[in-house]
Amino acid sequence: MNHVTCALTIAGTDPSGGAGIQADLKTFQELKCYGMSVITSAVAQNTTGVKDIHHLPLDFLEKQLQSISEDMPVHALKTGMIAQKDMMKVIAEWIPEINAYYVMDPVMISQSGDSLSEEESREVLRKQLLPLTSLVTPNIPEAEEITGKRIETEEDMKEAAEAIVKNFGAGAALVKGGHRAGAAIDYLFDGNEIHAFESERIQTENTHGTGCTYSAAITAYLAQGLSLVEAVKQAKYFVTEAIRYSFDLGHGSGPTNHFATREEVSNKWI
């Protein structure tokens, strides 16, 4: 029997292909996982911003989830945009049925500054979803929202990562420094200690979907059996190269390049 590693994303869409479900599936494919997807909201967006959002009905979300659990293996799953609290509740009830790693990207606001989650969903995210996670990957504004504390220094980032695990029950927390100046440093608290993952800051506007790509890569590596620290390390490399060789496409913040770690590609597409 052949063995295939299966990864699932539960998220919103991006027709322009750089973020959301589309970024997740491209990442899974590139990292040699069989990719599956459950859509929460269809988002009319591109590199310049969000035009409109259509939330799928709750019973349809449930049917998509059932379609997976009654038929398909899942070795690891990630969630991205889950805009509404009732969607979160449905997903929080479903996740324990699946014996898989769970990586949460707590998407709240898009790169272009548009809101992708309703204010009232935050409490459900904290109380019902966070305790189910193997890992949560907030950027700084998201970590501030979860902990209710301002994050200014690197020390604050580490404290936030620790608080998200100790006070909110996440399995582990990776606070990402993409929104700061200077080197791009992320801090992981794995329940025992802090680990730092650092890369140089790449001078580019093309960072549409970086968070989606990063969490999808971590999910793929966990699905393949890498340890948490090794999965984050490899995923950090993947997203850094995807930013380095990002595409100058669209009129706004262009998409990352999911082929970038292929040797033949990074030599060709600069």
Q: What residues line the site for ligand ATP (CB under 6 A)?
A: 19, 111, 139, 176-179, 184, 186, 199, 201-202, 204, 207, 209-212, 214, 236, 239-240, 243
Can you tell me whether residue 7 is helix, strand or coil?
Answer: strand
E-assigned strands of the chain? Answer: 6-11, 34-39, 41-46, 49-55, 76-79, 101-104, 135-136, 173-175, 184-189, 194-199
Write down the least CB distance from residue 214 to ligand ATP, Å.
Answer: 5
**Chosen residue from 7, 12, 147, 221 binding ligand HMH by CB under 6 A:** 12
Residue 144 to residue 147: CA distance in whole angstroms = 5
**Chosen residue from 47, 79, 84, 111 binding ligand HMH by CB under 6 A:** 111
Pairing of strands 76-79, 49-55: unpaired
From 107-115, 151-159, 161-169, 192-200, give the range in contact with ligand HMH by CB under 6 A: 107-115
Write down the least CB distance from residue 231 to ligand ATP, Å.
Answer: 13
Catalytic residues: 176, 207, 209-212
- Which positions ≥6 away from 21 have C-beta within 8 Å? 9, 11, 12, 13, 14, 37, 39, 80
| Residue among 7 and 116 whose Cβ is closer to ligand HMH | 116
Q: Which does 224 bind (CB under 5 to 8 A by kind): ligand ATP, ligand HMH, none?
A: none
- Which positions ≥6 away from 239 have C-beta within 8 Å? 210, 213, 214, 217, 256
The residues that touch ligand HMH, with contacts defined as CB under 6 A, are 11-14, 19-20, 43, 45, 80-81, 107, 110-111, 116, 209, 211-212
